[in-house]
Amino acid sequence: MVDVSTNQFLCMTEVEVYGAEYSGPAQLNATGITASSTKYSNYAAENLLDGDYSSDFCTQEDSGRYAVIDLGDVYEVTELWVWGRDETSSFYLNQMQNMKITVAMLESAIDDDDSLCVYRDGAPAAGENRPEVFTCTSSMIGRYVKVSMVDVDSEEFFCLAEVKVFGYNYEGAAEIAISDIPDSSTSYSNYAVTNLYDRDYSTDFCTQDDESGRYALIDLGGFYKVEELWIWGREGTSSFYLNQMQNIKITVTTTESAIDDDDSVCVYRDGAPADGENRPEILCVYRDGVHMYQLLLLPGRIDQKYSHVPAI
């Protein structure tokens, strides 16, 4: 809990963390091309998936230069490996400029604002286009992947040789057992921090330590993809109790020493939860980036907004 008055309590009843063990992304087997801009000559979009790095897809259609890949099922997409044409001059490198990659559950949503995986401005440098690795700024859940070139002159070609998509099977999150709470702000009275994972939803952790912050540091005991947190507030519906979960900030890191770094922020939720939304409040951190980290910091130490806390 951050940016609150000095006499404000932080109180929660239980915390559970959900995710999956981290084993690294695997290549996903695309089933086909569902849509593309008009091919140039015989440079068909199907060449992107044929395993032949000398056959290309080329298009010069000014209404859009793109190809949509169907993965055949819903996956967590983390990165794409894209091969340009087997040439190094600027003429060929410019055929991969202003690359935009989007991922969506439905093909009709492939251009929605929240579908963006990654965008790379300009053209790749010579030698960086076979392959060029595009890593999504946050892990994306979807079945359809659109590769496109945007905001270029009408005479520009868009040409690629091959595309490979990497990620994980998506089966939903499972609860991750909390190993320990190695650090926290000073507990108030007998409201100990160990109450956060004792499976008793009537026992609370409370702190009012204005000097060091209001927080609890959770050790997951291993490396996981953190997807969501479920946080139970105290069993009261008045604003007095709801304000004990205001301005929740969550960070996730591989090492405890980095728990306050800027890039550790998982999510932050401003203000207090609404009545009835705090038992539990589920904070989905998946879209904001799946952090493969070991430690989770609860309210008070990081700049992350937390609205609903799913179990890790």
What is the tens place of the pLDDT at every residue in 4-63?
888 888 888 888 887 766 667 899 999 999 999 999 999 999 999 999 999 999 998 777
Per-residue model confidence (pLDDT) at position 287: 34
Distances (CA, A) of 85 to 54, 96, 98, 310: 7, 9, 16, 45
Per-residue model confidence (pLDDT) at position 128: 86
Beta bridge partners of 174: 19
Per-residue model confidence (pLDDT) at position 211: 73
Under-50 pLDDT residues of the chain: 286-312
The pTM of the whole model exceeds 0.85: no
CA distance 302 to 256: 12
Per-residue model confidence (pLDDT) at position 95: 94
- For β-strands 158-160 and 57-59, DSSP reports them as antiparallel
Residues with Cβ within 8 Å of 5's Cβ and at least 6 positions away in sequence, in order, are: none
Asked, as a colleague might, if the bond just before 131 is cis with ω within 30 of 0, I would say: yes
Q: What is the token pair recorded at 279?
A: 């038992």
CA distance 238 to 116: 40
Report which residue type is found at 137. T
Per-residue model confidence (pLDDT) at position 172: 67
Beta bridge partners of 17: 176, 229
Per-residue model confidence (pLDDT) at position 102: 97
